[in-house]
Structure 1
Amino acid sequence: MGTFSIRPVATSDEQADFLAVPAYVYRHDVRWVAPLESSIAKQFSEENSFFQYGKLQQFVAYQDEQPVGRIVAAINERLIEREKNSVGLMGFFECINEPSIGQALLDHATNWLRDQGMTLARGPIDLSTHNNCCFLADGFDSDPMVMMPYNPSYYLELMEANGWQKAKDAYAYDLPLDKPLPDSFERGYKISQRAGITFRTINLKGKAFEQDCRHIYELFTTAFSHNWSSSARTEAEFMEEAKDLQTLVDTDIFVIAEDPKKESENKMVGFFMALPDYNIALKHVKGKLNICGILKFLWHKRKIDQARVLAICTLPEYSRKMVALAVVYLGMKGGTEKNPPYKRSELSWVYEDNMRSRNIIENTGATIYKTYRIYEKALV
């Protein structure tokens, strides 16, 4: 192993090196799907609203002047306020299989957090759990689906050797779509209909799209406000993220449940949110959505035959009206009856102790096929 050094990112050249690290680390890994460099770079621009309530420090590891590793230490004041605890975040970690370099990167991140007064480090979390988070801990024998993390297995060894301990696991479920759902889901749909619940797909144009997104934000915030390690998002932040996904939505697999009898303006009481597995196309883009990348994406997009279910969300008071079962039934029905149909779906990710969601997912016949992990390390 050649000599190495760890440098804080302070120049545009070092920022370019930071963005280039993953392509070097995964250059021989056939399963890795490169994230769009522009989307990663955007998170470190002054336009990112994170800098209104947080701060961070990027580090790059160099071996004989080749960037071979990176890490970010971050402080999210919203998370600290919510947990009433001085917890700092570690994220964007990538490193070649050289333990001494990985250890040095982790040490630089935790030392920075300690200097900022943090007493606990948690990660990997890229600024918040609304972004990329978790290390893949089991299930390395298949490609990651869209917006899901992927990493070499040796990352877990690096973390544990550095004194990090498991904080929480999350699961991804695999559901082949060659068989219908159990009858209980269709019965749930009929019960919801008799209770007066109506169902439709999301609107994707103009003011109707914006209104749907605002209502989804309200519902999402209500239903998931107590999620572990989650920090609040403003409506403006949520809307910005929604606009980034607007052109990617397949309305056949995005179902909204409404209660017309509800007195408030927002009659939305549940939704089933899924996306086509765009990783099948993005794998050929190699992180650069230039003209050539766009053409490759459009060509390979035609081959997408699987989808990822990102969220199944219903208000708790509508559980007896079987809204959760109903939206799952309609979402899966929409995916299997389209032409061509989706052949499989991934339902991800769900925390290991979220038994309400896990029970619904497991009742579909889905089985755990990947495990993800978030670690913590005491800094005192």
Structure 2
Amino acid sequence: MTPLTQKVLLAAERRTPELAAEIEIVPVAGKSDLNAFIDCAYRLNANDPNWVPPLRADMVELLTPGKNPFHDHARMQLFLAKRGGAVVGRISAHYDELALAQPPEQGMGPGTGNWGLMEATDDAVMAALIARAEQWLREEGMTRVLAPISLSVWEEPGLLVKGHDHPPMLLMGHHNAAYEGWVEAQGYAVAKRLYTYDLHNVRDGFPELVNRIVASGERSSKIKVRPVDTSRFAEEADIILDILNSAWSKNWGFVPFTEREKAYGGKKLKPLIQSGANMIAEVDGKPAAFMLAWPDINLKLKDFDGKLFPFNWAKLLWWLRKPDAVNWRVPLMGVVPEYQNSRLASQLAFMMIEYIRRYAVAEHGAQRAEVGWILEDNQGMVAIADAIESKINREYRIYQKDL
């Protein structure tokens, strides 16, 4: 067995003749292989009504060093699974130097590698792909796997195990329900559960207790909650990402953003930023917290089949001018460390989400929202989600295994 290929012979008595063929795992090398890697997801999910095809150009950018600054501090190898010459699966194996430098008690740390972006036609293909990803990680000196993470914890972490009956929102994964059993059969145990929370009807507002907390904050001369000023977008993005890096620094799975990643992320997300749906909270004139909300662009992308040209780009640009978005996602919020675990932190959170709700309903006809992901043991955020009477609608699992 070479370090770059692996062949798995399936037992004929347990498989149909087609599935009893040899599985070959080969490394992605060159543009043709990369296109096959990307195309694999479209083919294997074509019959899933709730899968949202990502833009192919975005996938190329994600996976290309020099375009995606994640690769400045990470190493990655992509693999294809082939049976009878046809592509039947894919997986990425990668590790992040910044993640290796994090404290082990926060989930990452020395020796921790990842795999992700996995797709497979059946359990044998999945087993062969995972085995090859593990082999590559061992060869790179990794001693432990956290997976799936595609490609970083800031993108699409975790395997969807609950919520297959509705489409995901932006930057949330969607997977074949069978993958849960196929992954766990390879000796993986749950490391963390990530939840998203559904606010089924945002038009009616929040419970009276939340309204009283918001009103109290509005009377305070210390607190100012304001929308992001899009005319100063770069400066505002720096404020938000600086708060994020400090607010999340003790969270499980945290990996800091580099300066290049800050600029890159701001540029990618700028078209989605509606000023009134993204808030910065100030205390005594200093930035203390932020909350972001994005219109559910996935509903628009669903019929594009991953392609912007020749006409879809115009449709998307027109929609982004003023999204008629009934669904919104609140993906991130953060409070500076000095106010965390305090009543003020909760008050700022309630004020920001109420202001976002008012704006999204009045300006865009919002009907529902999704908050998350939220770590299962993030007691502060879980308490806020409970207080606004949201319910868990999706569960993702990040698994771990020693190599």
The TM-score bracket by the shorter chain reads over 0.9
How big is the shift at 1:316?
4.7
Q: CA deviation at 1:236?
A: 2.6
Partner residue in 2 for 1:282:
301
Counterpart mapping for 1:166-205 below 5 A: 166-175=190-199, 176-193=201-218, 194-205=220-231
**Structural RMSD (CA):** 1.7
Structure 1 residue aligned with 2:361: 336
Contact 2:170 2:298 in 1 (8 A): yes
- Cα 1:290–1:378 change in 2 (3 A) is same
Is the contact between residue 280 and residue 300 of structure 1 (CA under 8 Å) also seen in structure 2?
A: no
Equivalent positions of 1:56-71 (< 5 A) are 56-71=76-91
The one-character-per-residue Cα deviations of 1:108-135 (angstroms, maximum 9, x if unpaired) are 0001111111110111112320122111
Could you tell me how far apart the structure 1 residues matched to 2:127 and 2:227 are? 48
Aligned with 2:196: secondary structure? strand
Match of 1:93 in 2: 118
For residue 36 of structure 1, report the CA deviation from its aligned partner. 1.4
1:152 to 176, 179, 184: 176
SS at match of 1:291: coil
- For 2:144 and 2:202, the matched residues in 1 are separated by 42
Superposition pairs of residues 113-152 of structure 1, within 5 angstroms: 113-152=137-176
Structure 2, unpaired ranges of 5+: 1-18
| Equivalent residues of 1:168, 1:351 under 8 A apart | yes
Extract structure 1 runs of 4+ deviating beyond 4 A.
Answer: 298-303
Aligned residue type for 2:75: K
Find the partner of 2:250 among 222, 226, 237. Answer: 226
What is the CA distance between 1:296 and its match in structure 2?
Answer: 4.5
Residue 46 of structure 2 aligns with which residue? 27
Contact 1:53 1:78 in 2 (8 A): yes
Which stretch shows the higher mean deviation, 357-366 or 317-326?
Answer: 317-326
Could you tell me how far 1:307 is from its partner in structure 2?
Answer: 0.3
Superposed CA deviations along residues 130-169 of structure 1, whole A, max 9, x for unmatched, are 1221111111111111221100111111111111111110
3-state secondary structure, aligned to 1:6: strand
Q: 1:41 aligns with which of 57, 60, 81?
A: 60
Aligned residues: 370
CA distance in 1, matches of 2:60, 2:357: 35
Alpha-carbon shift at residue 209 of structure 1 (Å): 0.8
Task: Report the Cα offset of residue 254 of structure 1.
Answer: 1.1
Q: Which amino acid aligns with 2:32?
A: D
- Kindly state the Cα deviation for residue 303 of structure 1 after the two structures are TM-superposed: 5.0
Distance in 1, matches of 2:42 and 2:53, equals: 7
Aligned residues with identical type, % of pairs: 29
Aligned equivalents of 1:320 and 1:111: distance in 2? 48
Residue in structure 2 matched with residue 17 of structure 1 by the alignment = 36
Residues 3-43 of structure 1: CA distance to partner in whole angstroms, max 9, x if unpaired? 43111011221111111110111011111001112112112
Give the structure 1 partner of residue 16 of structure 2: none
Mapped to 2, the partners of 1:369 and 1:121 lie a distance apart of 27
Per-residue Cα deviation, 1:299-339 (whole angstroms, up to 9, x for no partner): 7776531101112322354443321221122111222222x
How far apart are the structure 2 equivalents of 1:303 and 1:272?
Answer: 21
2:36 match: secondary structure: helix
Secondary structure of 2:230 counterpart: coil
CA displacement at 1:191 relative to structure 2: 2.7
Instruction: Determine if the alignment matches structure 1 residue 209 to structure 2 residue 237.
Output: no
Partner of 1:73: 93
Report the more deviating stretch, 242-251 or 39-48.
39-48
Distance 2:140 2:304 in 1: 39
1:305 maps to a residue whose letter is V
CA distance in 2, matches of 1:308, 1:357: 15
Mapped contact 1:24–1:68 kept (Cα < 8 A): no
Letter in 1 for 2:343: R
The equivalent of 1:320 in structure 2 is: 343
**2:35 partner amino acid:** A
Letter of the 1:183 partner, please give it.
E
Answering whether residue 305 of structure 2 is matched by residue 305 of structure 1, we say no
What is the rounded CA distance, in whole Å, between the counterparts of 2:327 and 2:176 in structure 1? Answer: 24
Superposed displacement of residue 67, structure 1: 1.8
C-alpha distance in 1 between matches for 2:128 and 2:324: 42
| Corresponding position of 1:107 | 131
CA distance in 2, matches of 1:229, 1:286: 32
Distance 1:46 1:143 in 2: 29
Cα deviations by residue, 1:67-96 (Å, 9 ceiling, x for unpaired): 221101112111111134311011111112
Identify unmatched segments of 5+ residues in structure 1. Answer: none
SS of aligned partner of 2:307:
coil
Residue by residue over 1:172-213, the C-alpha shift from the partner in whole angstroms, topping out at 9 and shown as x without a partner, is 1110214220123332223323142112211223xx111111
- Structure 1 pair 316–163 and aligned structure 2 pair: CA distance change class (3 A): same
Whether the 8 Å contact between 1:146 and 1:277 is mirrored in structure 2 is yes
Distance in 2, matches of 1:299 and 1:242, equals 20
Q: After TM superposition, give the deviation of residue 298 of structure 1 in Å.
A: 5.4
The more displaced of 130-139 and 186-195 is 186-195
Between 108-117 and 82-91, the greater mean CA deviation after superposition: 82-91
Classify the secondary structure of the residue corresponding to 2:343: coil
Q: Distance in 2 between matches of 1:234 and 1:101?
A: 36
The Cα of 1:369 is off from its aligned counterpart by: 1.3
Q: 1:320 and 1:118 mapped to 2: Cα distance?
A: 42
The aligned counterpart of 2:71 is: 51
